[in-house]
Amino acid sequence: MVNLIGKISRGSLMDQVYLPKNRPSAFAPGCYVELVPVLAPEKITPYFYKVVHIEPLKVEMIQTILSLAPDAGNVLICGSFLERGYGFHDIDVIVVNGSITGVAENIEKTLGIHAHVISLDNTSLSEGLSTDPLFCMLLSKFVARKRVIFRVQRRILPRLLDLHLLSSKPLFHEFEELDGDQKYKMIRNIVAMRLFIDYRNVDSESVNKEIERLLGRGSIQNIKKNMTRKKDVLPILLKLYRKVFNHLMGEIHAQSK
């Protein structure tokens, strides 16, 4: 058997492989050939942080994503993609110390899934985990190309938290117009900020546990399915919202002296 090695070139409509004019007759125009990679892609052993269960198909997708941005210091996959099942709508990717040019486009082209890709250095990553409860939630579980250890020292930035709190305000004025996922996200954000300013653990499990403590067992599923009655939850949530707001206003006032 004769083997020829060629390089795949990008075309406008289809990619192609160029072969030399002087080649064996088995490679004449119109003949069927089998293309096999000369070099197998390097197998990546991902680092799983607090990911208890992951579907086999997702593991294959993770391999593809982590192989992108090869010059980056690290690549992290986080967000709803890592939750059990296939209810996610997109994939959150953080490229550490590297370029994100073309990464989102390659993910969408290869996997057919929309991707949110951001670039951070190690300092910004640690700063986000130290000061932003929503960032803590995002990275409460992740998969990384390489093992990573964060150095986190929590600091309360009341103006930043006040902006986050403001994003949940429509919950009280537009409750009937919001869908279940929107309601859950706003409730989750309020609870996450409460846990953060109390210097308690902020991750998906802790926040969900606190939501169910406040609103009752099974409340999260009812919220997501948009089956929650306004009168059953808004008084409790408004009380919590005001507590967080008053705490932040006190912090802002103290810092302005």
Location of structure tokens 């004019």:
21
Shared domain for 193 and 227, answered yes or no, is yes
Q: Which two tokens stand for residue 28?
A: 């004449």
Shared domain for 181 and 126, answered yes or no, is no
Q: End of a domain among 114, 144, 174?
A: 144
Q: Among 28-32, 89-93, 208-212, where is mean pLDDT lowest? A: 28-32
Question: Does residue 128 belong to any structural domain of this protein?
Answer: yes
Query: What is the CATH classification number for the domain harbouring 99?
Result: 3.30.460
Give the pLDDT of residue 159. 94
pLDDT digits (tens, 9 = 90+) for 212-229: 999 999 999 999 999 999
Please tell me which residue, 62 or 16, carries the higher pLDDT value: 62
Give the pLDDT of residue 20. 78
Question: Does residue 2 belong to any structural domain of this protein?
Answer: no
Residue 126 neighbours by CB under 8 Å, 6+ apart: 150, 151, 152
Give the pLDDT of residue 241. 97
Give the pLDDT of residue 41. 62
Q: How far apart are CA 131 and CA 161, in angstroms?
A: 9
The yes-or-no verdict on residue 125 having pLDDT over 90 is yes
Contact 77, 91 (CB under 8 A): yes
Confidence class for position 99, pLDDT limits 50, 70, 90? confident
Question: Does residue 30 belong to any structural domain of this protein?
Answer: no
Q: What is the count of structural domains for the chain?
A: 2
Question: Does residue 42 belong to any structural domain of this protein?
Answer: no
Question: Does residue 51 belong to any structural domain of this protein?
Answer: yes
> In the 8-state DSSP scheme, what is residue 25?
G
Confidence class for position 158, pLDDT limits 50, 70, 90? very high
Q: End of a domain among 144, 176, 211?
A: 144
Q: Among 52-61, 63-72, 205-214, where is mean pLDDT lowest? A: 63-72
Shared domain for 76 and 162, answered yes or no, is no
E strand intervals along the chain: 8-9, 16-17, 47-49, 74-78, 91-96, 115-120, 142-144
Shared domain for 60 and 133, answered yes or no, is yes
- Give the DSSP H/E element, type plus range, for residue 136: helix 133-138
Give the pLDDT of residue 217. 93
pLDDT digits (tens, 9 = 90+) for 191-203: 999 999 999 999 9
At position 238, the amino acid (one-letter code) is L
Shared domain for 67 and 122, answered yes or no, is yes
Q: Which domain holds residue 131?
A: 47-144
Write down the mean pLDDT value for the chain: 90
Shared domain for 165 and 236, answered yes or no, is yes
Shared domain for 209 and 140, answered yes or no, is no
Q: Among 15-19, 129-133, 229-233, where is mean pLDDT lowest? A: 15-19
Give the pLDDT of residue 151. 84
Give the pLDDT of residue 19. 80
3-state secondary structure 89-134: CCEEEEEECCCCCCHHHHHHHHHCCCEEEEEECHHHHHHHHHHCHH
Shared domain for 252 and 174, answered yes or no, is yes
Shared domain for 188 and 102, answered yes or no, is no
Shared domain for 138 and 164, answered yes or no, is no
Shared domain for 136 and 181, answered yes or no, is no
Question: Does residue 25 belong to any structural domain of this protein?
Answer: no
Confidence class for position 59, pLDDT limits 50, 70, 90? very high
Give the pLDDT of residue 39. 64
Question: Does residue 244 belong to any structural domain of this protein?
Answer: yes
Q: How far apart are CA 240 and CA 194, in angstroms?
A: 8
Question: Does residue 63 belong to any structural domain of this protein?
Answer: yes
The yes-or-no verdict on residue 133 having pLDDT over 80 is yes
Shared domain for 229 and 177, answered yes or no, is yes
Cα Rg of the chain (Å, integer): 24
